Amino acid sequence: MHTPDDKLGDHRATVPERRGSIARVQQDGSATVPRRPRVVTITVNFNSRPWLAECFATVTASRTRHADLEFVLVDNACTDGSAELVTQRHPSVTVLTTTRNEGFAGANNLGLRYALARGADFVFLLNPDTRTPPDLLDRLVEFLDAWPEYGIVGPMQYRYTSDGAGNGKLNDWSLTALRAGESNIFDLDTPGLPSPAGPVSGRAPGTLEHAYVQGAALMCRAEALRGVGLFDETYHSYYEECDLCRRTRWGGWRVALCTNLGIQHFGGRGNSQYRRRMMLRNKYYFLVTDPEYRARDITRLTFRWLARDLMRQGAAPAERLDGDRRHTHRRAVAAAAGPADSRQTAHTPAAAAPRRRRAARHRSRRRGTAGVKIAIVNPPHRLPSDASRWITVPPQGYGTVQWVCAHLIRGLRALGHQVTLLGAPGSRTDPGVTVVDATSANDFDEWAATTDVDIVHDHTNGLINPRVVRRRAQFISTHHLTGPPRHPQSCVYVSSAQRADAEGPVVPVPVDPPLLRFAATKDDYLLFLGRISPHKGVYEAAAFAKAARCQLVVAGPSWEPDYLRRIQTSDDGSTLHLEGEVGGARRVDLLSRARAILVLSQQVPGPWGHLWSEPGATVVSEAAASGTPTIATRNGCLPELTVGVGRHVPYGAEFDPAQAARLLAELPRPEQVRKIATERWHFLTISRRYEELYQHVLAGRRWGNAAHSSASSQAAT
């Protein structure tokens, strides 16, 4: 049995000797000599001279503790002197040349064959229009060395900035990848197709198993390439990396984006005829070469694509008209329509009013789906145990609402919105988020009087005055407490039990699975994580653990010494382990390794005077995302949250040992629990639900209107 004080018990512990070294087998097979892995970076260039200086200046400056690097430029029949520039500035770079444009697939294959012949362990494909952080290659190698089941990985991509400093904003491809998540590559065309992602068990933390890693920044294990082959040169350009990632998965490897690593990538902004033609051709080729698609799926997708592509071909002549030619074309069409049609579009008040209404609806739709300026307001609370410390976003320890704000900010940023965070000083979130210190109602009112945001989303449980906000912006609040909300008209609830008989949408609290670590094998201890108070049922949790003959780890702040002494007195020294307030890696570790988390919330008076009814129970979703099931009472939201991820016990502290043992044996499997959590509470899923509500708010609707009733039901769990 592992105790909570042991080191991390995940599968990384089985391969520590691999980190930073590759075992080289001698010819007689009798001994091994550790060596540093060899990484070859390959940059295919076709007349991209303006980008190359910065590209190679940054990648050749990479700092590596775990690998030896070699840099290769593939000159793909360039005519702009690119190869000469690189050779002059970076003599150590190997230049390979082609006699004709081989496309992305063929040119990279030339570099890949060279790398494999040179004994490379890892190959990193890098576009010319990129800027590489100095530690990126080292961290990718470290990741692949520690997680040997991954064949292809890549970093997230950020917008390329002229000054090189970066602005912390994801580029369009990464935003699309986060929106799509782990869905099928054609999920938007035909929802319900199988996900390419591997099983939840065995995943590395901080990864997203997206359908593919873009070839602009892709690291591949040489062993995987030797098994599944190189790029299919039939593609020439576009979809070739999708096919390589697909075949790598077929070969038994995992493919993922490392969400905590990044690179700047300018990205193709053009819409050339060549690109359109290759994208059109290659998606059909990609579809028909996949045996996992059923004939029905292929037929449905093909007909849908053909209809859409034919419509685009028909519209192509008009689309090619640009600038003044487009306006000239429209004027010519209007003139040919004759006086009657001209009268229908005259700028009269009667004709202008419908146009204004249509334009207003169009603006509200556009603002509701992308580019909205949103202010997230965090409650400015200090730690009761240390009044000099604020509870920040994200929190360093205790702070349920603060974690909700942190996850929501990340999701809204990923969906392309601009976010401002107001609240406790010291908060630090994603780069690009404006942070405003505000510690009182007056601070919020002063800020609201001059703000230019579209929506203020309040999480302070009533500190914000919506009448002040609505002079300049729309207002919405999320209720995180028990009892009725202070501003019910604009309120979102985190559970159906919390909403009770009120009208309004229900959106549960979000969770970020990559920040949590999944463990399929659990240690023999139970966990309580949260505030040590009577309404949270810590005394009852200790009684259950004693009946089940399991150790109970209690991790959380204690602000009521008499209650804590009562818990300690009830223990004979064999059950209780007081951990104190935890955060960071220790919190993640405890969540992932526990056999179950205990949420034995009791119907007693809570901290705000009301009879306690569990409002949102963030810890249930966090534990589930770690593969840890929940044992809970039926208080408040717990019955609706624990469906599929836990079991229930009665109120009180009387537990039969046989029943406790049987309940532990009936807990759902960690893989099932993690899958449900990812589908139900993923921060992007929750952010999209709020995005829908923002759209209705921007359209001037209020809760309870007929126009809003459908949105409320869709947003409810």
**Mean pLDDT of all residues belonging to the chain:** 82
- What is the arithmetic mean of pLDDT over 8-16? 31
pLDDT at residue 191, as a whole number: 62
pLDDT one-digit tens code per residue, 531-545: 999 999 999 999 999
- CA-CA distance, 248 to 280, in Å (whole number)? 24
pLDDT at 416 over 80: yes
Instruction: Report the range of poorest mean pLDDT among 189-193, 205-209, 340-344.
Output: 340-344
- CA-CA distance, 194 to 184, in Å (whole number)? 6
pLDDT one-digit tens code per residue, 559-583: 888 999 999 988 887 789 998 888 8
- CA-CA distance, 467 to 445, in Å (whole number)? 10
* C-alpha dihedral sign at 20, 25, 30, 33: negative
Per-residue confidence band for 621, with pLDDT thresholds at 50, 70 and 90: very high
pLDDT at residue 596, as a whole number: 97
Alpha-helical segments (H) within 118-149: 136-146
pLDDT at residue 431, as a whole number: 66
pLDDT at residue 189, as a whole number: 67
Nearest to 685 by CA among 515, 512, 516: 512
pLDDT at 272 over 80: no
pLDDT one-digit tens code per residue, 89-125: 999 999 999 999 999 999 999 999 999 999 999 999 9
pLDDT at residue 192, as a whole number: 62
pLDDT one-digit tens code per residue, 430-474: 667 889 998 888 888 888 888 889 999 999 988 888 888 888 899
Nearest to 482 by CA among 609, 391, 621: 609
pLDDT at 316 over 50: no
- What is the arithmetic mean of pLDDT over 192-213? 84
Q: What is the layout of strands, in order, in the sheet containing 525-529?
A: 576-578, 551-555, 525-529, 596-599, 630-632, 646-648
pLDDT at residue 190, as a whole number: 65
pLDDT at 705 over 80: no
- Mark 451-488 as b/e (b = at least 16 C-beta within 10 Å): bebbbbbbbbbbbbbbebbeeebbbbbbbbbbbebbbb
Q: Which of 62-71, 295-304, 344-353 has the highest average model confidence (pLDDT)? A: 62-71
Percent of the chain residues topping a pLDDT of 70:
82
The SS3 of residue 70 is strand
- What is the arithmetic mean of pLDDT over 619-630? 95
pLDDT at 644 over 90: yes
pLDDT at 352 over 70: no
Q: What is the DSSP letter of 535?
A: G
Instruction: Report the range of poorest mean pLDDT among 76-80, 172-176, 233-237.
Output: 172-176
In sequence order, what are the beta bridge partners of 474? Answer: 455
Beta-carbon count within 10 A of 552 CB: 24
**Burial class of residue 24 (count of CB atoms within 10 Å of its CB; 0-12, 13-18, 19+):** exposed
pLDDT at 392 over 80: yes
pLDDT at residue 17, as a whole number: 34
**pTM score over 0.75:** no
In DSSP notation, 209-240 reads --S---TTEEEEEHHHHHHH-S--TTS-SSSH
Q: Is the peptide bond before 394 cis (omega within 30 degrees of 0)?
A: yes
Phi, psi (rounded to 5 degrees) for 482: -85, 165
pLDDT one-digit tens code per residue, 133-187: 999 999 999 999 999 999 999 999 999 988 777 767 889 899 888 878 888 887 7
pLDDT at residue 283, as a whole number: 87
pLDDT one-digit tens code per residue, 35-54: 789 999 999 999 999 999 99
Q: Which residues contact 631 (CB under 8 A, 6 or more apart)?
A: 526, 544, 596, 597, 598, 599, 600, 646, 647, 648, 649, 663, 667
pLDDT at 362 over 60: no
Answer yes or no: are the C-beta atoms of 69 and 39 closer than 8 Å: yes
Position with higher pLDDT, 295 vs 649: 649
pLDDT at residue 12, as a whole number: 30
- What is the arithmetic mean of pLDDT over 28-36? 57
Phi, psi (rounded to 5 degrees) for 367: -65, -30
pLDDT at 519 over 90: no
Per-residue confidence band for 501, with pLDDT thresholds at 50, 70 and 90: confident
pLDDT at residue 271, as a whole number: 57
